[in-house]
Amino acid sequence: MKYLFAAVMLASAAVGFSESASAMQGCGPGWARGPYGGCRPMAARGPVVVVRPAPVVVVRPRGCPYGFRWYAGRCRPF
């Protein structure tokens, strides 16, 4: 009787674990495989909000020739 009970418990545990693994299909929770094999969300989502990134401002160093320095908005000699 002990062995029968142990076999039933082992079989029910194996079935329980295999069902949860096949439900996710390798895509993760909330996602499932689509018709072409890609992962798709299982539930409909609300509108997607796209936020544009801020513009990147690159400040170039002012390059004055040798013997000059940047002063008052232009290159001036020392």
Q: What is the pTM of this model?
A: 0.27
What is the residue-level pLDDT of the chain in tens, covering all 78 positions?
777 677 777 777 665 555 554 555 788 877 888 888 888 888 766 666 778 888 888 777 768 888 888 888 888 888
- Per-residue model confidence (pLDDT) at position 1: 72
- Per-residue model confidence (pLDDT) at position 47: 67
The 10 Å Cβ neighbour count of residue 13 is: 10
Asked if residues 41 and 27 have their Cβ atoms less than 8 Å apart, the reply is no
Asked if residues 31 and 41 have their Cβ atoms less than 8 Å apart, the reply is yes
- Per-residue model confidence (pLDDT) at position 24: 57
pLDDT tens per residue across span 52-63: 888 888 777 768
